[in-house]
Amino acid sequence: MKDLATGTSHAKIILIGEHGVVYGQPAIALPISTIQMQAIIHRRDETQTVKSRYFNGDFKMMSANLGGIQTLIKTLLARFDAPEQGFDIHITSDIPSERGMGSSAAAAVAVTRAFYDFFERPLSHQELLATANVAESYTHGQPSGLDVATASAKSPVWFVKGRENFPIPVKLAGYLVIADTGIKSQTKIAVATVRNLLMVEGATIQARIDDLGRLTRQTRTALEDGDMGTLATALNGAQDDLRSMGVSHPALEQLLAVARQNGALAAKLTGSGQGGCLIALAPEASIANQLSQKLAAAGATATWVEPLLNDD
């Protein structure tokens, strides 16, 4: 066991396919490696303490909203046969929470990596996904696994729940502007909204879910072929589907309109919606930077500009 151990992870955005992915449709998500999360563990003799944005104190007294991480740490200590091992874990994050940027999944990935490092055990990618999803299942109910897959990935991810999870190439030199409405939203509630609508308006909502799958497949081809026009049509179409599924929000719609009026080729919510962040597609860096300023002036609480092209 080490005296000092670390685990890192990063933010994610879903390019397309959120919510559809819960029902077996594909999704494409991008790791945002510039927005980081870190967990640092110091070995202690007896005390077990946690320091984070929302909690500072005895691990056993962690607040209810951190129950996912508490359950994860309990699982890890039991796995390594050391339930009473003393530690002090400090989690630091640049990822805004409850905004669709995967902060809970990133925390789960960073904490899992840190504990494997602490106990000096090798960690396979499969084991990382399964372990980090312990926290996500506690927090979200039945997560698709997409957030954890992307928080631990280095390249854009093609994901089908329980079946497909692999990197895909992006040959498109566009930019994405990510803008935060500043409105918190909970994945669990947004997922429940869609589930309830599906029960009430079965066929209409199922058609939207199927359409999200179709648009996601089109997006994959557009990314591989460098086809900006098809990508833009698919992203705008996905926003129409998501709006009909009850997961948009007036603040999102207002910023989406600002993006479209200021040079965005497409704009949609990203993540679970009902608040949180949006993404806007820009053909070049100067337009992306201009868009980012317009969105901030229109009320976005934070903005980021990310190139679409991946390095590989």
Under the rule (CB under 6 A), what is the footprint of ligand MEV?
Answer: 14, 18-19, 21-22, 100, 143-144, 146-147, 187, 190-191, 271-272
Q: Which is nearer to ligand MEV, 268 or 294 (CB)?
A: 268
Task: Report, in Å, the least distance between residue 189 CB and ligand MEV.
Answer: 10
Task: Report, in Å, the least distance between residue 277 CB and ligand MEV.
Answer: 10
Residue type, 1: M
Q: Which is nearer to ligand MEV, 187 or 236 (CB)?
A: 187
| Other beta carbons less than 10 A from residue 42's beta carbon | 15
Task: Report, in Å, the least distance between residue 142 CB and ligand MEV.
Answer: 7
Task: Report, in Å, the least distance between residue 30 CB and ligand MEV.
Answer: 12
Residue type, 107: A
Q: Which is nearer to ligand MEV, 29 or 288 (CB)?
A: 29
Residue type, 170: V
HEC profile for 80-110?
CCCCCCCEEEEEEECCCCCCCCCHHHHHHHH
Q: For residues 36 and 31, what is the distance between their CA atoms, to the nearest angstrom?
A: 10
* CB 150, CB 18: distance < 8 Å: no
- Give the rounded distance of the alpha carbon of 162 from its chain centre: 17
Instruction: Give the DSSP per-residue string, 8-51.
Output: EEEEEEEEE-TTGGGGT--EEEEEEEEEEEEEEEEE-SS-EEEE
Q: Which is nearer to ligand MEV, 25 or 303 (CB)?
A: 25
Task: Report, in Å, the least distance between residue 310 CB and ligand MEV.
Answer: 20
Q: Which is nearer to ligand MEV, 19 or 294 (CB)?
A: 19
Stretch (H or E) spanning 129: helix 125-140
Task: Report, in Å, the least distance between residue 33 CB and ligand MEV.
Answer: 18
Q: Which residue is nearest to ligand MEV (CB)?
A: 144
Q: Which is nearer to ligand MEV, 49 or 219 (CB)?
A: 219
Task: Report, in Å, the least distance between residue 294 CB and ligand MEV.
Answer: 26
Q: Which is nearer to ligand MEV, 15 or 255 (CB)?
A: 15
Q: Which is nearer to ligand MEV, 85 or 187 (CB)?
A: 187
Among residues 143, 109, 136, 146, the alpha carbon closest in space to that of 125 is found at 109
Q: For residues 7 and 241, what is the distance between their CA atoms, to the nearest angstrom?
A: 37
Task: Report, in Å, the least distance between residue 282 CB and ligand MEV.
Answer: 23
What is residue 124's three-state secondary structure? coil
Q: For residues 96 and 94, what is the distance between their CA atoms, to the nearest angstrom?
A: 6
Q: Which is nearer to ligand MEV, 18 or 117 (CB)?
A: 18
Rounded to the nearest 5°, which phi and psi values hold at 20? -60, -35
Task: Report, in Å, the least distance between residue 19 CB and ligand MEV.
Answer: 5
* CB 149, CB 29: distance < 8 Å: yes
